[in-house]
Structure 1
Amino acid sequence: MEQKILSLNIGRPNLHVWKGKTENSAIAKKGIEEVLLTKNGFIGDYVANREFHGGPERAVCLYPYEHYWQWEQEFNQTLCNPAFGENISVENMLEENVYIGDTFTLGDAIIQVSQGRIPCSTISKHNRVDSLLRRIVETGYTGYFFRVLQEGTITKNSKLTLIDRKQEKFSVLKGNQLMFHDRKNREAIEEFLEIKELAEVWREKFLRMLEN
């Protein structure tokens, strides 16, 4: 698996007016030519809502480019990349084909898939499609996050190359299905928790599911 990234984006929080309410968000990222990726994320990239974004286990956000076509067809609306606040867009790396713990080179850096993305209402507000968040959760087409194992420089022409796959049972999509739709599947959750590469925030959420 080797794919060229289609966009490289960073951004800072800004005030946005959505439906008459002012909110602070960094979803409106801009394309760049080159950037340094550190353990905490891209230099110059910031988050406003730390519940859903940021931190060493969510240092890089990827959104599969194929979903743009689906949402544009479904909602009869053009979406301007990056529409989902992602750092990188890539083809042929759908949630169903990428697994928790997958490790990739990206430019000079090495990154590892840590969790699926738990989307928030900002996605719907930013794109002015009220039902977009609901559809993302229903489908599991959330995109996903990486931790950084080795820091390095990334350019807009960099490629993602798979160098290690830890397991082949729990794709990002299967993890999303457990998170959003199959929360009482105790056996599957217990097995999912055995993946040591799973982000700690997801581990904590699934442990609470088991307790409840």
Structure 2
Amino acid sequence: MTGRLTAVNLGTVTEAEWAGDASGRSGIDKRPVDGPVAVRFTGVAGDFIGERAHHGGPDQAVYAYAEEDAGWWAAELGRSLPPGAFGENLSTYAVDVTGAVIGERWAVGTALLEVTKPRTPCTTFAGFWGVPDLIKRFTARAAPGAYLRVLREGELGAGDPVQVVDRPAHGVSVGYVFRATTLEPELLPALLDVPELPEPIREKVRRRLGVAPA
């Protein structure tokens, strides 16, 4: 089955004590929008990003989360989790987001996206859901969703197919990177052989392994 977008979601401005930036504002509360949406190198047009020190930027321009994983969490928590509940720009169906290989390229609408890294849960996410131990539970579940960079600007919308047009041979997936950098440090060495992984992550891996820069 060909994967597809089920929703494109844009962040609204939320002011709360748990919001991450100094002004107490967050863009984690994202809502589905109608029609095609422009995707730029810097992110999805119209999306609000609060704490830019940790969110946004070319390597985190777009965030995707799988509808199937959202369904698991809805059952786990006994509550509805509509599109955008994970702070994702793209809600997907029949796309193996956790198994996506770092550097894998997706053609969606007229845009071309490249998988870069997993999402790391934060206190803002826990505050948004009102689940104090969410970081621990989200880490244990290890289905973090994927950040993507924009290689070709374009437009995309709900219902558009998600076509994997290129997949690097190294095989290191979003889920592998997440496990390596959280609960399974024995997996870290393989990350040094992934050129598409953002340099800040590669540098952290080198520091943890005591490896000098190449």
How many Å separate the matches in 1 of 2:208 and 2:26? 29
Name the SS of the counterpart of 1:198 in structure 2.
coil
- Sequence identity percentage: 29
Look up the match of 2:155.
153
Q: Within 5 A, what are the aligned runs for 1:35-184?
A: 35-183=37-185
TM-score by length of 2: 0.88
Name the SS of the counterpart of 2:24 in structure 1.
strand
Look up the match of 1:189.
188
Kindly indicate whether the alpha-carbon contact (under 8 Å) linking 1:101 and 1:167 is maintained by their aligned counterparts in 2: no
Give unmatched runs, 5+ long, in structure 1.
none
How many Å separate the matches in 2 of 1:96 and 1:154? 21
Name the SS of the counterpart of 1:79 in structure 2.
coil
Look up the match of 2:32.
31
Per-residue CA deviation, residues 160-202 of structure 1 (Å, 9 max, x unaligned), is 100000125311111111010122x2xx433322211112222
1:200 pairs with 2:199: yes
Kindly indicate whether the alpha-carbon contact (under 8 Å) linking 2:98 and 2:146 is maintained by their aligned counterparts in 1: no
Kindly indicate whether the alpha-carbon contact (under 8 Å) linking 2:5 and 2:157 is maintained by their aligned counterparts in 1: no
**Partner AA of 1:6 in structure 2:** T
Per-residue CA deviation, residues 93-137 of structure 1 (Å, 9 max, x unaligned), is 234421111101011010000111111122221122222222111
TM-score by length of 1: 0.89
Give unmatched runs, 5+ long, in structure 2.
none
How many Å separate the matches in 1 of 2:180 and 2:205? 9
Kindly indicate whether the alpha-carbon contact (under 8 Å) linking 2:43 and 2:58 is maintained by their aligned counterparts in 1: yes
Kindly indicate whether the alpha-carbon contact (under 8 Å) linking 1:111 and 1:147 is maintained by their aligned counterparts in 2: yes
Residues 209/51 of structure 1: CA separation in 2 closer, same or farther (3 Å cut): farther
Number of aligned residue pairs: 207
Look up the match of 1:211.
210
How many Å separate the matches in 1 of 2:206 and 2:13? 32
CA shift at 1:51, angstroms? 3.9
CA shift at 1:24, angstroms? 1.4
**Partner AA of 2:191 in structure 1:** F
Name the SS of the counterpart of 1:45 in structure 2.
coil
Kindly indicate whether the alpha-carbon contact (under 8 Å) linking 1:59 and 1:146 is maintained by their aligned counterparts in 2: yes
Kindly indicate whether the alpha-carbon contact (under 8 Å) linking 2:181 and 2:188 is maintained by their aligned counterparts in 1: no
CA shift at 1:18, angstroms? 5.0
